[in-house]
Amino acid sequence: MNDIPNPTGQTPSRLLLLSLLTLLAIALASPWIVSGALAVLGVDSTTPMEWVPATFPPREAYDQFVREFESGDVVVASWPGCTLDSQACVRFIEAASGPNAPRNTAGSPWFESVASGSTLLARLTEPPLSLARKTAIQRLKGVLIGPDGQTTCLIISFTREGLTDRKHAVAWIRSMLLQTAATSPADFHLAGPVIDNVSVDEASAASLRVYAAPAGLVILLLTWWSLRSLGYAVLVFLISLTCVGLSFTFLNACGDRMNPVLIVMPVLVLTLGVSGGIHLVNYLVDALESDPFGNTPHTSALKTQATPQSLTMRAIAMGWLPCSLSAGTTAVGLFSLVVSELEPIRVFGFHAAFGVLATLVLLFMIVPGIFERWPLRRRATAATPGNDAPLASNVIRHATPIVVVVTAAMIAAAIGVPGIRTSVGIDTLFTPESRVIADYRWLERMIGPLAPVEVVVRFTDASPVRPAQRLEIVRAIGTTLAEIPGVTGVLSAATFVPEFADNSGLRGAARKAIVARKLEHNLVRLSDMKIVREMDGEQLWRVTARTSALSDINYAGFLDLLRKRVEPIVAAHGGVTRGISANYTGVMPLVQSIQTVLLHDLFTSFLSACVSITLVMMVVGRGVLAGLISMLPNVFPMILLFGLFGWTRTSLDIGSVMTASIALGMAIDGTLHFLTFFRRGLAHAAGDDAIDTAAQRAAAVRSAFHHSASALTQSAIACGLGMLVFAASSFAPTRRFAWMLALLIAAALAGDLIFLPALLTGPLGRYFTPKQRPLPRT
């Protein structure tokens, strides 16, 4: 660590003692911090169903379906050679549902049921239905049997306990398939909502595991380049990293679990911590630059009075306000997210705010005391006085054109924002070459579409409709669903009952009566198959339609289409007047609706954070207009980039939207540092009894550039390039998150060092001028 020796004879100051004690406390607490963070990262993240309250209407409908029939959280498994005559399916079903079926540590089973095309085919061909094998296979095509009439699959339904421990449950499935099917792991093809969740968990964890260390190393090296001191770079980086660990430990202590939104929390805390550390060290160096040993060139009386302690306190006085305002304002914006009904956003807002405030506290508790004992030389830093002068002069000279061009660009981009498209499909999460997408393609080609949509036809106990008539209604609904584009398979009670050959004449009537009696006698068997259920004074008939999981289906619109097709059939048979109604749900429609609401809530939460921060900026700027003007450079990056996405109709995912929150934090950080020194420079340039002039504002802008431009640039380069390391990830959301965040950080830097100074130099800068008190009359 490059340093200027502390004068001899000095006893350790309170600041140094505070720094050393804080470092000792962190060292002693590090095992607890590490174990708490690992405990959070080692637990399966929450599923989409856990993100919303139980009163969320689509979840209410789905939970009701699960209570009445079964969970839609399944794994679909198949492999080359998985045919109707394969004994591997039989062996797997025995292992998964027998007395030795896998269970969690509490003894609860992971799987609710296991079925295959072979088991359902046997039920269709055995008495009392006794369908011809060819007919039965034809009915199961596109659902459990492939187009070739031979390839089939396993459908493994999970319990709630299995979902909670899904990583181990899926690992057991893969291991058992390897034992029972006797094929290589490369031949297994797994899909379904559970696989989606596990794949996202594994891919995001792999991204952190593979790229977190290189990204951290890049940030550390660039921080070293910025400060020109390895010791201080390591100190700032470790403090920021400690706050990341504290955030996860606090998350674990609160009983919260990981979710996809929380993946960005360590990035936010680390980048803001490094940025704040670079700013703080620069303030300390600035104080030292003016007087390394108290030897000011202007006042000889201070030569014997100034000490490292007094210089450090002067640096703290210089930097505590902008650092506290930037961290505090960002924390206020993040904390405003706790009002969201969605758990991921609420948990992210609370714990990210904690992490940001923790970086502020630890930086001021540690860095000043260390600097007091081992101060840096100015020549050892990357910032050299005068380096920022050309940029400042150009911005001041062209302030009006800059404001006009940037404002026009923001307006044009804002017009495109409503055109933003969001996508929550599995194909947007993984590359076309990924194993997950390849498995989906193979299964949908060899078996059929994998996304189920459920229609539940309800008959009250008072309904006069006989079972045979109910079967006709269900058959008519199934026929209608099969005609909808994208639906290639339908499963219902009609699948397991022979069709009426003819509804007219004595022979047809007799056959119909026979089938009706068989149907009434076999309702119990259909109930065991979870096709027909008796619950709470109602008889429920289930109709399942299959759609492609890889198609870009808007399930909200698809369910509306189902209603338009099904409700006329229900109404034609009497509707509610005869005790008939229908419900519509499905795990894929639910997941899509949750993710769509999540994306919408991310946008609205970001807007609420902007409003909260704007109110704080109004207080800091001591005026409504000053607060509004100071927000323009902060929203400039988001409006520009997201407006461009809107114009180009580029689809965004959850990770893409979350970059806005981090970029807002970085932009606010820079804006407050720049504004603090602009106001100080303006007060110094104006004097006690002078009025605001353009020249004074220009001088204040130059002063702000001198004090903050280098630190702003250094922190943006360190954090932006560090995040670009994640752009090499094969996990699409991580890759998009990385390059989008890097672009937003660069745009935020441009907003703070080009757009904001141009605004302050022009007439709008008057609103930041400290109000002058009238001079007393003489």
Work out the average pLDDT over 490-497: 85
The alpha-helical segments, DSSP class H, found in 398-493 are 399-416, 435-446, 467-482
Which pLDDT belongs to residue 267?
82
- Tokens 């319990």 locate to 159
Residues 181-204: tens digit of each pLDDT:
867 888 899 999 899 888 888 888
Residues 198-242: tens digit of each pLDDT:
888 888 888 888 888 898 899 999 999 988 899 999 999 999 999
Which pLDDT belongs to residue 668?
85
Which pLDDT belongs to residue 737?
83
C-alpha 351/C-alpha 101 separation (Å) is 39
What percent of the chain stands above pLDDT 90? 32
Domain boundaries of the chain, sorted by first residue? 1-69+229-381, 387-419+622-770, 451-547+554-585
Residues 519-556: tens digit of each pLDDT:
666 677 777 778 899 888 899 999 999 998 888 788 88
Name the least confident of 39-53, 221-235, 657-671, 678-692. Answer: 678-692
Q: 623: exposed, middle or buried (C-beta count within 10 Å: 0-12, 13-18, 19+)? A: middle
Asked if residue 759 lies in contact with residue 403, where contact means CB atoms within 8 angstroms, the answer is: yes
C-alpha 263/C-alpha 244 separation (Å) is 11
- Tokens 């502390």 locate to 6
Pick the residue with more confidence: 313 or 748? 748
- Asked, colleague to colleague, whether 1-69+229-381 and 451-547+554-585 share their fold, the answer is no
> Cα dist. 496→125, 199, 493, 515, 619 in Å?
9, 35, 5, 12, 71
Q: Is the pLDDT of residue 753 over 90?
A: yes
Which pLDDT belongs to residue 381?
43
Q: Is the pLDDT of residue 350 over 80?
A: yes
The CATH H-level superfamily of 387-419+622-770 is Multidrug efflux transporter AcrB transmembrane domain (1.20.1640.10)
Tokens representing residue 9 in the block: 């004879």
Work out the average pLDDT over 712-719: 89
Residues 8-29: tens digit of each pLDDT:
445 557 888 999 999 999 999 9
What percent of the chain stands above pLDDT 70? 88
CA dihedral 231, 237, 239, 240 (to 10 degrees): 170
Residue 291 pLDDT grade (very low, low, confident, very high; cuts 50, 70, 90): low
Residue 378 pLDDT grade (very low, low, confident, very high; cuts 50, 70, 90): low
Question: Angle 134-137-141 (CA atoms, 0-180°, nearest 5)?
Answer: 140
Average pLDDT, the chain: 83
Work out the average pLDDT over 37-48: 75
DSSP 543: E
Q: Is the pLDDT of residue 772 over 60?
A: no
Name the least confident of 119-133, 441-455, 661-675, 676-690. Answer: 676-690
Which pLDDT belongs to residue 502?
53
Query: Residue 299 — φ and ψ, nearest 5°?
Result: -130, 105
Asked if residue 746 lies in contact with residue 227, where contact means CB atoms within 8 angstroms, the answer is: no
Work out the average pLDDT over 261-273: 82
Work out the average pLDDT over 50-60: 87
Work out the average pLDDT over 657-679: 81
Name the least confident of 446-450, 494-498, 609-613, 685-689. Answer: 685-689
Q: Is the pLDDT of residue 518 over 80?
A: no
Residues 647-657: tens digit of each pLDDT:
988 877 777 77
Residue 604 pLDDT grade (very low, low, confident, very high; cuts 50, 70, 90): confident
Which pLDDT belongs to residue 304?
42
C-alpha 45/C-alpha 51 separation (Å) is 11
Contacts of 341 (CB under 8 A, 6+ apart): 52, 53, 56, 601
Top mean-pLDDT range of 179-183, 258-262, 766-770: 179-183
Asked if residue 275 lies in contact with residue 257, where contact means CB atoms within 8 angstroms, the answer is: no
Pick the residue with more confidence: 455 or 314? 455
Helix (H, G, I), strand (E, B) or coil at 82: coil
Residue 383 pLDDT grade (very low, low, confident, very high; cuts 50, 70, 90): very low
Q: Is the pLDDT of residue 295 over 60?
A: no
Top mean-pLDDT range of 291-295, 475-479, 491-495, 652-656: 475-479
Which pLDDT belongs to residue 271?
86
Which pLDDT belongs to residue 272?
85
Which pLDDT belongs to residue 509?
63
Work out the average pLDDT over 167-193: 90
| H or E element at residue 453 | strand 451-460
What type of residue sits at position 402?
Answer: I
Which pLDDT belongs to residue 7?
43
Q: Is the pLDDT of residue 330 over 60?
A: yes
pTM over 0.85: no
The architecture of the domain spanning 451-547+554-585 is 2-Layer Sandwich (3.30)
Which pLDDT belongs to residue 603?
79
Which pLDDT belongs to residue 514?
65
Select from 3.40.50.970, 1.20.1640.10, 1.10.3720.10, 3.30.56.10 the CATH code of 1-69+229-381. 1.20.1640.10
Which pLDDT belongs to residue 387?
58
Q: Is the pLDDT of residue 503 over 70?
A: no
Which pLDDT belongs to residue 303?
43
Work out the average pLDDT over 567-590: 93
Work out the average pLDDT over 255-283: 84
Q: 156: exposed, middle or buried (C-beta count within 10 Å: 0-12, 13-18, 19+)? A: buried
Work out the average pLDDT over 381-393: 62
C-alpha 33/C-alpha 97 separation (Å) is 41
The three-state DSSP-derived secondary structure of 165-228 is CHHHHHHHHHHHHHHHHCCCHHHCEEECHHHHHHHHHHHHHHHHHHHHHHHHHHHHHHHHHHHC
Residue 777 pLDDT grade (very low, low, confident, very high; cuts 50, 70, 90): very low
Which pLDDT belongs to residue 426?
74
Pick the residue with more confidence: 386 or 98? 98
Residue 382 pLDDT grade (very low, low, confident, very high; cuts 50, 70, 90): very low
Backbone conformation region of residue 671, classed left if phi is above 0, alpha if psi is from -120 to 50, else beta: alpha
Top mean-pLDDT range of 374-378, 382-386, 592-596: 592-596
